[in-house]
Structure 1
């Protein structure tokens, strides 16, 4: 459970294109959960589906239990839109390689700064997209990781798994994810919002540090420093702590 009073640092690994989108256009993209490659996204653990199947078997005329939970799962994946960050300020080499690449960037802020920026933006902007987003439920949660296929029913009960969008398969635990999510609830909303949407932000308010990949070229560091200075983001660029050995 996230302790908001401690206001933890969060990181977002990205390539130059995504940084430009963030800084130049001052916006954050929220992707529909259904668009992710992870097939476990938004799914309940296997025992939940097995239980629904057993109800169908014992009551042959009742196909609603099994079909209902499967359709509900599909619906849930479509109605949630998320922006995914890494909880804590510690760097992760796997995430550098996956999301940043050789010349990658990780922007650092805090959970409350981003949360407040998103809430204020949606509240004050009156375009059609924000009008729809205001009808959605906004939530921020630390992702919990579980084994979808081998978790027993007792563990499911103890975990109180009632919002599977905030759970991921344990194979992804290295991400240490915190998720900002909008639950659009009504089919008409996510049908209009489609596969994703942007929320306007002020990058200057959000970015507290911009880390440069440990494998990046020297000229890439200089490029990012020059780029950010044009958008009043001065003195925030630094090398990854993983670039230098401890004796330097």
Structure 2
């Protein structure tokens, strides 16, 4: 089935043609070109950097401790979801973000960004055959205070689509792939799940622009252009709009 935009855990932007951006270092960009795919890590991999990733609220944990049946079921689903869900993270904004350049590139001067629209990104996701419940979702992340706020219970996706308010500058869009193989309900089988998956993408059709870091040297800009063309990508390659311009 095509990407699911109807699930209540996945809020949709008011303008489906809003721009979305993915900032990365040069090594990840080359991998993107080589594979013509998006790499989606497991949620539990993301949790290594953010301990609140894929978790629930303090109120919900208190219910688990008290033996609340709904909360206990939610907890079981949440823990399974850390292994059975894979995520691709994008920045929603009509313009470039100076902060995103710095945060998501290991070397600011040697970074690249790919830009498309929310609609095109969702439409590019492939149909899934096989297990009926395995498919893609897309939507906006919600930012909360896990210590005092509420989160809807009893669904595997709410912990994935809620993050700490400390990250709200990310304005994150998430693609989530729910991989429901037979045996998913058996925790002993989850170790066999890969830590990441590749999702094929028609790069020329999906990506609108490739942007080079505002502090990139000329040699790096030429390298990006040469490598991009080598892999048959025919997309505009632009210098960042954040480069200081000399006005007449």
**TM-score, length-normalised on structure 2?**
0.79
Structure 1 contact 10–85 (Cα < 8 Å) conserved: yes
Answer yes or no: is 1:174 the counterpart of 2:169.
yes
Cα distance, 1:76 vs structure 2: 1.8
Q: State the match for 1:201 in structure 2.
A: 201
Counterpart for residue 11 of structure 1: 21
- Count how many residue pairs are aligned between Structure 1 and Structure 2: 227
What is residue 137 of structure 2 aligned with on the other side?
139
Q: Deviations over 1:150-188 (max 9, x none)?
A: 22x5xx46xx99722111111111111100011224563
> Distance in 2 between the 1:5 and 1:16 partners?
30
Aligned to 1:29: 39
Question: Partner of 2:5 in structure 1?
Answer: none
User: How far off its partner does 1:68 sit?
Assistant: 4.9
For residue 41 of structure 1, the aligned residue among 42, 49, 53 is 53
Q: CA deviation at 1:233?
A: 3.2
* Alpha-carbon distance change, 74 to 224 in structure 1, aligned in 2, over 3 angstroms: same
Aligned to 2:3: none
- Superposed CA offset, 1:79-117 (max 9, x none): 211111111232222221122222100100112222222
**CA contact 1:79–1:187 (8 Å) conserved in 2:** no
1:247, CA displacement in angstroms?
A: 3.9
Of residues 210-219 and 67-76 in structure 1, the stretch that sits farther from structure 2 once superposed is 67-76
Displacement of 1:140: 0.4
Counterpart for residue 214 of structure 1: 214
User: Is the contact between residue 11 and residue 86 of structure 1 (CA under 8 Å) also seen in structure 2?
Assistant: yes
Residues 231, 55 of structure 1: alpha-carbon distance in 2 compared, 3 angstrom cutoff: closer
Identify which of 57, 64, 72 aligns with 1:52.
64
State the alpha-carbon separation in 1 of the partners of residues 136 and 234 from structure 2.
32
2:108 equivalent to 1:92: no
Larger Rg belongs to: 1
Of Structure 1 and Structure 2, the greater helix share is in: 1
RMSD value, Cα: 2.8
Task: Provide the residue aligned with 2:243 in structure 1.
Answer: 243
8 A contact 1:45–1:148 mirrored in 2:
yes
**Ranges in structure 2 where 5+ consecutive residues have no aligned partner:** 1-10, 185-189
| SS in structure 2 at match of 1:6 | coil
- Which residue pairs with 1:126 in the alignment? none
User: Partners of 1:194 and 1:233 in 2: how far apart?
Assistant: 29
The equivalent of 1:224 in structure 2 is: 224
Q: CA deviation at 1:18?
A: 1.3
Which stretches in structure 1 are left out of the alignment for 5+ residues?
57-63, 124-129
Aligned partner of residue 160 in structure 2, secondary structure: helix
SS in structure 2 at match of 1:95:
helix
